[in-house]
Amino acid sequence: MISGRSLMTADEELIEFLREYVTPNKQEKIAAVLDERTRRLTVILEDIYQPHNASACLRSCECLGIQDIHVVERRNQYKPNNEISMGSAKWLTIHRYHQTGSCIDSVKKQGYQLVATTPNVDGCDLHSLPLDQPVALMFGTEEKGLSEEALAAADATLRLPMYGFTQSYNISVTVALTLSRLVERLRQSDTLWKLSEEEKKELTLEFYRRIVRRHDLLEEEFWACRPD
């Protein structure tokens, strides 16, 4: 008779092994959070340099269930402030690039439609932007917005409503406003926006590794004791 344990993959066995070092409350919280996570929307941040903005963007993404953040450090190093981000980076998958083009190529290969946030009056708004395929939202630097390269690569543009004399939001506010509405639309739709079971397992293992002290030594023990 084949045991249930023998049917598990090595990663699943490793998750069960590390689970012993994670409190039940944290186990439940991780499972609940991953059940609300999405990769249907992702965010590209190009050359964001102010620590406050870098941190606030991460915090909004994590709170709203976005898992992947793509950071382009073409001219400016991305330096979030942990006191502002409230540890949100710990629970996000952050991809870093030195060139806008390499980021765009990577995201496109994953099947995302590139959407540039811009004051362009001809762009889509938060109600009309199509969500029938995965969307990568591009946000530009505090000073000049998105680069010409990013704008040229965009499949669509997105504009936010503004009714005052000031015709621009702070970048972190832009990210929060945009994601808040689009995540709400996504969750109310029939779109399959949740993570797959395999993605949940991968992230569970990653999260356990991030919170279990000296997980590397524990994993050495696991592999040493595991039968071939």
Where in the sequence is the domain holding 53, given as residue range(s)?
Answer: 38-188
Domain holding 113: CATH number? 3.40.1280.10
Look at the block and give the residue holding tokens 């994993």.
219
CA distances 66 to 1, 123, 148, 183, Å, are: 42, 23, 26, 9
* pLDDT tens series, the chain, 228 aa: 344 455 678 889 999 989 999 999 999 999 999 999 999 999 999 988 787 887 889 999 999 999 999 999 877 666 655 555 557 888 999 999 999 999 999 999 999 999 999 876 678 999 999 999 999 999 988 778 899 999 999 999 998 888 887 777 888 889 999 999 999 999 999 999 999 999 999 999 999 999 998 888 888 887 777 766
What local confidence, expressed as pLDDT, does residue 15 receive? 92
Same domain for 50 and 87? yes
Sheet holding 135-139, edge to edge: 93-97, 68-72, 41-46, 135-139, 113-117, 156-158
Classify residue 228: in a domain, yes or no: no
Q: Report how many domains make up the chain.
A: 2
Classify residue 81: in a domain, yes or no: yes
Same domain for 149 and 218? no
Classify residue 7: in a domain, yes or no: no
Classify residue 155: in a domain, yes or no: yes
Same domain for 208 and 134? no
Classify residue 2: in a domain, yes or no: no
Using N-to-C axis directions, what is the helix angle for 197-211 and 24-34, rounded to 10°?
140
Neighbours of 200 (CB within 10 A): 16
Same domain for 101 and 209? no
